[in-house]
Structure 1
């Protein structure tokens, strides 16, 4: 890893990006409960062993939601593909990390963690600044289908709303009882859909493809419904804080 390649990870708007990240510093502890629950559902939906929610800080990346990669809690910024995901509008996808590694980050880290696939969608804070990512990873190479890319985008929006709500809850415990119920209900619905896949066996390849497409469509519907519920909760935050 060279100094010049690391500098490619730092956007020209880095100061503004770090300012956008500032409200979420209270969430800087690895492996937080609601995010762990969320990424465990995401991993099942994508049928992968690993899913993460990251915050990309000035010099490191902290995984505040971690399913399947307990050995990674905080890594150097130049060691994480999440540092690349925050720079892109669409998903950052590396289908075969072993043969075609990301040239912007240290390839040894992915090798040591035996990673074969990465897809990450940026989480965006104020003014659209990339502050972190929602990512799914596999131990073997694979492709990200278009329905999966669309679902990842929707779930990244959900994760961004979760960041907003959790930051507010961390500052005001009285909000927790009001918000936990709707959040738990939405996660339960997504978890049920994810678990249905594990219980369903489809032998015919064509039928399997149709089933997966239908499942992705249903997951997108639930993700959008979850976001609507979270947006309602977010709209209530100023009233809750001011007592209006």
Structure 2
């Protein structure tokens, strides 16, 4: 059934050409990127978050939190990310057990016991989807329009950060110790700490409807908006 469906964008040759600079980034992992993927998992309260590059025959997990150690890539035909790059907006599977994806082989999903997936394409400035920012859970869950919009904003931040990394390597070779990288890292780290504190405080409430619990949720939403807006502003100023 799945084999009857196309899994390649119409302009696959040019998409793979656009992907090449991102494959050549010498060192993505660093504290800034590590904290960003941790932040993404925290914002959506999921155990797994991934920045994936969709290559010709495989999907490479350039960054992830929550996957078993050594899980670096998967066959493209088994990847939900290969389906996500075919879409114009966020791809969502709220319950893969009762409503599985018919555009990909089920091997990876079954091996990892995955039941929820949401992925937003990482699009280059010229519009090519070179990868996906995705959040994954082992339980079904609802994913509303506000969450989809947030994931799309974060995917835009991720591709801008990757573009900045390419720009740095192609010009002065600057590493994440530069002033901008340090500023971005500090913003993300501070937000991760604040969100973690709010989550811990919320656990002490007897009900999710107490005044304090409601206040914690409000503060959490405010923090999410603050950090996403700040990161977007910083990257827009640098890349334009």
Shorter-chain TM-score range: 0.7 to 0.9
Does the Cα contact within 8 Å between 2:2 and 2:102 map onto a contact in 1? no
Asked if 1 retains the 8 angstrom alpha-carbon contact of 2:35 and 2:192, the reply is: no
Are 2:127 and 1:122 equivalent residues in the alignment? no
SS at match of 2:101: coil
Please list every run of 5 or more consecutive structure 1 residues that lacks an aligned counterpart in the other structure.
236-244
Residues 1:234 and 2:239 aligned together: yes
Q: How many corresponding residue pairs? A: 232
Q: Is the 8 A contact 2:119 2:134 kept in 1?
A: yes
**Is 2:79 the counterpart of 1:80?**
yes
Tell me if structure 1 keeps the 8 A contact 2:51–2:131.
yes
SS at match of 2:41: helix
Query: What residue is the counterpart of 1:238 in the other structure?
Result: none
More helix per residue: 1
Query: In structure 2, do the counterparts of structure 1 residues 148 and 193 end up closer, same or farther at CA, with 3 Å as the change threshold?
Result: farther
Match of 2:230 among 205, 217, 225: 225
- Residue of structure 2 equivalent to 1:239: none
Cα gap change, 1:59 to 1:145, in 2 (>3 Å): same
2:97 is aligned to 98
- After TM superposition, the structure 1 = structure 2 runs for residues 94-243 of structure 1, keeping only pairs within 5 Å, are 94-171=93-170, 172-174=172-174, 176=176, 177-201=178-202, 202-206=205-209, 212=217, 215-235=220-240
Instruction: Measure the CA separation in 1 of the matches of 2:102 and 2:181.
Output: 41
Spell out, residue by residue over 1:54-74, the C-alpha distance to the aligned partner (whole angstroms, 9 max, x if none).
111111111111100035211
| Aligned-pair CA distance for 1:203 | 4.3
Residue in 1 that maps onto 2:19: 21
**Local SS of the residue matching 1:115:** coil
How far 1:205 moved relative to its partner?
A: 4.4
CA distance in 1, matches of 2:7, 2:194: 36
Query: Aligned with 2:174: secondary structure?
Result: helix
Work out whether residues 15 and 129 of structure 2, in 8 Å CA contact, stay in contact via their aligned partners in 1: yes
